[in-house]
């Protein structure tokens, strides 16, 4: 990646207030959310099993977006991603989406007996008390809650540093004179010392967060997605879920960054072609990683030729209607992003980059459907007009929820991660000695 620094005048950015968006855009998103939510509710009227299946696809997809995107700030801190200053606050915004998906997770308890074989008879399922429904939801809910509280603290700490810097300036926006911002900021301290101290703490916590994320999402994938089939299992499935979730996080970031470039004026020059170039390369790389995990999982089971494994694969790869869904998912998640993102020009042009990014998001939505739906409908796919409309509505619901969560996050908090940029910039200029034992933990060099 590029150690790219767009010219950032942090003093001027500190004078800007909160981001503002056109009301008609927000109204249209709320309208889309309302209509699609109504269609998802209508799915339960058509057929209870169809309704819960679609609800679970939406929940799993949103959890992938929220959890996968929210871990990116910690990953960027570990890998010393100095190019990402203009995008850091967008990555922080995934936390709100993660909390929304967590609420949907608990709503799914109402349909647990429809969705999961272990919820109908956990003793027959062969796991004893370990898969008892209340205990299963409680331990996974607790683990996800632990991760969400931890990552929220991680993001909130960065926002606190930004507010501390903004309120330490002689001139700052009236937007930040509210009691909430005054309460978050640390007053009467040396900002540079506080910034250095807090980021050294975050550097220590970042690997721990990544470990908890991988554990949480992998276990969720094993028991709440793979566990929908009482026979089939794959040791690669958990890692595939947490890697593909990060993949969707990169793709959604490209869409949100392109939108904010047009509608948050101070971000326009900072979100330049170099930033989108690096973001496009990450979408490209994770697309190949998505394909690698899928093919590795397929290859091992194809060579093993065990009935409990090949039946799961055969339903999804050899028989219609799911065979067609499989090819759509493969084409949208890998083939199209791979071929288009080979071009440097596509990656540098944000207006072109959003096309393969959006298609990849559609592909992963199809993939989640392909994994979940055949467990409940071996020979059924939405084929009538209303069913296809509701299926599309599920994806539109996820996108509208995602964009609204980002908009309201940016309407509440500073739109640029000032403290992170200041810290990295001082290292670059040699104002912070990275050879000091306590500072070297951060890994910026």
Task: Look up residue 435 and give its DSSP letter.
Answer: T
Higher pLDDT, residue 424 or 44: 44
Question: Lowest-pLDDT range, 84-93, 160-169, 188-197, 400-409?
Answer: 188-197
Over 80: is that where the pLDDT of 22 sits?
yes
Model pLDDT, residue 228: 86
Number of domains in the chain: 1
**12 within 8 A of 5, measured Cβ to Cβ:** no
Model pLDDT, residue 32: 95
Is residue 150 one of the residues assigned to a domain?
Answer: yes
In this structure, what token pair is assigned to residue 393? 């509505």
| Across 139-150, average pLDDT | 95
Sequence-distant (6+) residues with CB within 8 A of 52 are 44, 108, 111, 114, 115
Band of pLDDT at residue 440, cut at 50, 70 and 90: very low
Is residue 232 one of the residues assigned to a domain?
Answer: yes
Is residue 2 one of the residues assigned to a domain?
Answer: no
Sequence-distant (6+) residues with CB within 8 A of 288 are 334, 338
C-alpha distances in angstroms, 241 versus 63, 218, 222, 235, 370? 11, 7, 9, 11, 13
Is residue 375 one of the residues assigned to a domain?
Answer: yes
Is residue 376 one of the residues assigned to a domain?
Answer: yes
**218 within 8 A of 71, measured Cβ to Cβ:** no
For residue 92, report the phi and psi dihedrals to the nearest 5 degrees: -60, -35
Is residue 4 one of the residues assigned to a domain?
Answer: no
Is residue 15 one of the residues assigned to a domain?
Answer: yes
Tell me which residue range forms the domain holding 43: 10-440
Per-residue pLDDT tens digits for 224-257: 998 888 788 888 898 999 999 999 999 999 999 9
Rounded-to-integer distance, Cα 94 and Cα 97, Å: 5
Over 60: is that where the pLDDT of 3 sits?
no
Rounded (to 5) percent helix, strand, coil in the chain: 80, 0, 20
Is residue 344 one of the residues assigned to a domain?
Answer: yes
| Across 350-360, average pLDDT | 95
DSSP 8-59: --HHHHHH--S----HHHHHHHHHHHHHHHHHHHHHHHH-HHHHHHHHHHHH
The percentage of the chain sitting over the pLDDT mark of 90, rounded to a whole number, equals: 47
């Amino acid at each position: 990646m590029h150690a790219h620094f767009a010219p950032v005048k942090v003093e001027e950015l500190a004078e800007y207030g909160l981001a503002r968006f056109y009301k008609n855009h927000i109204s249209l998103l709320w309208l889309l959310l309302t209509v699609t939510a109504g269609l998802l509710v209508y799915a339960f009227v058509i057929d209870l099993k169809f309704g819960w299946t679609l609800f679970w696809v939406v929940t799993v997809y949103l959890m992938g977006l929220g959890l996968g995107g929210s871990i990116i700030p910690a990953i960027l801190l570990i890998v010393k991603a100095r190019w990402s200053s203009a995008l850091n606050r967008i990555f922080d915004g995934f936390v709100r989406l993660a909390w929304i998906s967590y609420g949907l997770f608990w709503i799914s308890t109402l349909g647990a007996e429809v969705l999961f074989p272990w919820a109908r008879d956990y003793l027959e399922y062969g796991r004893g008390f370990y898969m008892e429904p209340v205990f299963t939801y409680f331990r996974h809910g607790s683990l996800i809650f632990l991760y969400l509280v931890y990552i929220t603290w991680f993001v909130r700490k960065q926002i606190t540093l930004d507010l501390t810097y903004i309120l330490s300036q002689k001139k700052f926006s009236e937007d930040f004179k509210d009691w909430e911002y005054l309460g978050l900021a640390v007053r009467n301290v040396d900002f540079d010392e506080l910034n250095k101290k807090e980021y050294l703490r975050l550097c220590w916590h970042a690997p721990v967060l990544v470990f908890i994320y991988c554990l949480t999402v992998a276990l969720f994938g094993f028991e709440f997605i793979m566990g929908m089939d009482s026979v089939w299992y794959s040791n690669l499935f958990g890692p595939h879920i947490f890697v593909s979730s990060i993949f969707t996080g990169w793709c959604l970031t490209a869409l949100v960054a392109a939108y904010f470039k047009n509608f948050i004026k101070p971000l326009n020059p900072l979100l330049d072609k170099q930033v989108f170039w690096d973001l496009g390369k990450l979408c490209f790389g994770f697309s190949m990683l998505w394909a690698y995990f899928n093919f590795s999982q397929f290859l091992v089971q194809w060579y093993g030729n065990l009935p409990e494994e090949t039946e799961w694969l055969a339903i999804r790869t050899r028989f219609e209607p799911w065979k067609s869904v499989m090819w759509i998912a493969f084409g949208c998640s890998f083939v199209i992003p791979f071929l288009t993102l080979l071009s440097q020009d596509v990656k540098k042009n944000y207006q072109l980059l959003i096309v393969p990014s959006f298609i990849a998001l559609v592909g992963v939505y199809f993939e989640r459907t392909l994994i979940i739906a055949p467990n409940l409908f071996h020979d059924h796919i939405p084929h009538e007009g209303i069913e296809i409309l509701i299926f599309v509505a599920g994806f539109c619901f996820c996108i509208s929820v995602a964009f609204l969560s980002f908009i309201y996050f940016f309407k509440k908090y500073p739109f640029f991660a000032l403290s992170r940029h200041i810290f990295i910039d001082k290292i670059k200029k040699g104002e912070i000695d990275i050879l000091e034992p306590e500072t070297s933990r951060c890994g910026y060099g």
